[in-house]
Structure 1
């Protein structure tokens, strides 16, 4: 796709760093007052406050005293059904907010997004009078533009094509989702930071009570842009890093400075109190115990709060390719996920988010169950990796489109009945 080169706009100048600074930057670690993991007594105390908040939400929404304890207990039972009888030894702490999970709004004493999320989950157990959130999360692509040529790109066929969604339509899309009620919106692309002013405008104009995240390669996340999106109200960033080795990641992303962009982006995100996650698409060549451990060690050194593990799917640039992991590799990933999150041995490592683990046990929460994907044309899909359009969020009747989306379901896993 020759027109991709039009968007390489002296990228190194954007960071105002010279080549000699790369080694120095790689050795930098987060400041003690930035995001970190909480363990021990403080973690137990925060969990106690967290449970008390849940009971308060139940008391507020139910008139029957039986539900004040029964519904929170049912929520805990649902959690155990999802992950088993495992116990977290750590929480991620950014500012005054504490996180158990990447796709659950963080808890703080006054978090509207956390409270509305819990109320919506309670509503699925015992109906609540009044409005609750329809969705937990949505991915919204705000641009087709991107400077990279990533091996696994699910938007490959749309990259750098003519934009079909005006900024006004994107604002309408956000408003349509918020009308239904939503806890998190993840802004993607393309590369969303090519539209950094739009990101800031979206978040400033959105209704309160939704957490906004940016999914990025790290391109253009220099300090000025990190400050800008934080000031607008962005909660966090997921930065794609697909190998712990510089040359491997650069090759995967199709650009020689892609790894350096990640280093710079992570540093700037953490310095500006943006909750920070690394996201990796784990290929057949990558999934070994050594590679997973080396990646986790790097993430720990960088000071991020989360690692997101994505399995490759035969869509976009991987279309019609044999990319599914072997059964042995899936078992290795599940073991890695459990050990990193629930073994005290790894309590100082970032929390792991691995969708495949619960999808194989609980079914998929995408396809309009709790989550969906609005692509760069405004069309609804089950998720970024299940691209079967079910209609347009603005041009079609939204309830009808949602019903079709749920009927079509996830193309990889059965839909969740939870």
Structure 2
């Protein structure tokens, strides 16, 4: 992991830049609680903090300490409503019970509970989506983040993740039903990437347009799904890395780069016999120096007119 003091210094700079929201994930943050607590302790009330967790390593005492800082919510993954499938996915026989215990502790500590779920196309046709929503409601979640499957990380080689226009509209209709119809008012809200990333809304929000990602090694990535790096905090100045990235993402555009350039990233990964991602800054430049990010996102153009 990147040196904690370097990470802490970067977090302070980010707050001073106006970053309003920090989402801390792992690994499992609660298993390195000294690092988690330290980072949360230096984020003042200008920003909100959410933590992604499996529940492993979580205790009421730790949650009480975090609640006293600026931690607002804990987000758990819920990729299956079935306990056995959930355990199998995480590779632990007690993963479901650990998650349940974590949810209970969060509620007792007064921390909001949220879930993220990454569902395949068929899950929206076979009833799994509805079961996920029922489970999230039963766990008294405030939010379900619906993640669109993307060719990144361990799925970099996947070529079967793209949705048809008909599938996308079908999924959006389900989301709108849960979010807007009175009959579903007692369900958690849904934040769906398939809607937020539409070209008529935010489009691709990577590269500091709306968000970016710092991994455990200190690589500054445009997005957790886009496996390239603009530099590493351990060897370069953060401001220089960030400005380099922002120069490439000077305005919001509508191309989903993680999908369009997954094959090229995977080719460079194989050709250079790499053991991990993201690509190095040098190899990453081969991706972004000539890429096509698409058309400017209309929402940002409309917002500019309001100035």
TM-score by length of 2: 0.76
Closer/same/farther in 2, CA of residues 166 and 405 from structure 1, 3 Å limit: same
* Alpha-carbon distance between aligned partners in 2 of 1:306 and 1:186, rounded to the nearest angstrom: 15
Which of 401, 408, 412 matches 2:241? 401
Unaligned segments of structure 2, at least 5 residues? 250-255, 259-292, 301-307
1:354 paired with 2:165, answer no
Question: Is the contact between residue 315 and residue 385 of structure 1 (CA under 8 Å) also seen in structure 2?
Answer: yes
Question: Is the contact between residue 47 and residue 70 of structure 2 (CA under 8 Å) also seen in structure 1?
Answer: no
Residue in structure 1 matched with residue 50 of structure 2 by the alignment: 213
Post-superposition CA distance 1:224-246 (Å, at most 9, x none):
33223223331111111111111
1:388 paired with 2:228, answer yes
Alignment of 1:134-153 (within 5 A): none
Larger Rg: 1
Question: Is the contact between residue 312 and residue 323 of structure 1 (CA under 8 Å) also seen in structure 2?
Answer: no
* Alpha-carbon distance between aligned partners in 2 of 1:319 and 1:220, rounded to the nearest angstrom: 30
Closer/same/farther in 2, CA of residues 237 and 416 from structure 1, 3 Å limit: farther
Alignment of 1:238-277 (within 5 A): 238-277=75-114
Residue in structure 2 matched with residue 41 of structure 1 by the alignment: none
Deviation of residue 397 (structure 1)?
Answer: 4.7
Deviation of residue 291 (structure 1)?
Answer: 1.1
Query: What SS does structure 1 have at the residue aligned with 2:7?
Result: helix
Alignment of 1:105-116 (within 5 A): none
* Alpha-carbon distance between aligned partners in 1 of 2:87 and 2:124, rounded to the nearest angstrom: 18
Post-superposition CA distance 1:4-48 (Å, at most 9, x none):
xxxxxxxxxxxxxxxxxxxxxxxxxxxxxxxxxxxxxxxxxxxxx
Deviation of residue 270 (structure 1)?
Answer: 1.3
Question: Is the contact between residue 221 and residue 228 of structure 2 (CA under 8 Å) also seen in structure 1?
Answer: yes
Residue in structure 2 matched with residue 321 of structure 1 by the alignment: 158
Unaligned segments of structure 1, at least 5 residues? 1-162
Question: Is the contact between residue 43 and residue 70 of structure 2 (CA under 8 Å) also seen in structure 1?
Answer: no
1:374 paired with 2:211, answer no
Deviation of residue 204 (structure 1)?
Answer: 1.8
Closer/same/farther in 2, CA of residues 370 and 281 from structure 1, 3 Å limit: same
TM-score by length of 1: 0.57
RMSD: 2.1
Which of 112, 117, 120 matches 1:280? 117
Post-superposition CA distance 1:325-349 (Å, at most 9, x none):
4324332321121111111121111
Query: What SS does structure 2 have at the residue aligned with 1:392?
Result: coil
Question: Is the contact between residue 241 and residue 259 of structure 1 (CA under 8 Å) also seen in structure 2?
Answer: no
Residue in structure 2 matched with residue 336 of structure 1 by the alignment: 174
Question: Is the contact between residue 372 and residue 382 of structure 1 (CA under 8 Å) also seen in structure 2?
Answer: yes
Question: Is the contact between residue 45 and residue 70 of structure 2 (CA under 8 Å) also seen in structure 1?
Answer: no
Deviation of residue 301 (structure 1)?
Answer: 1.1
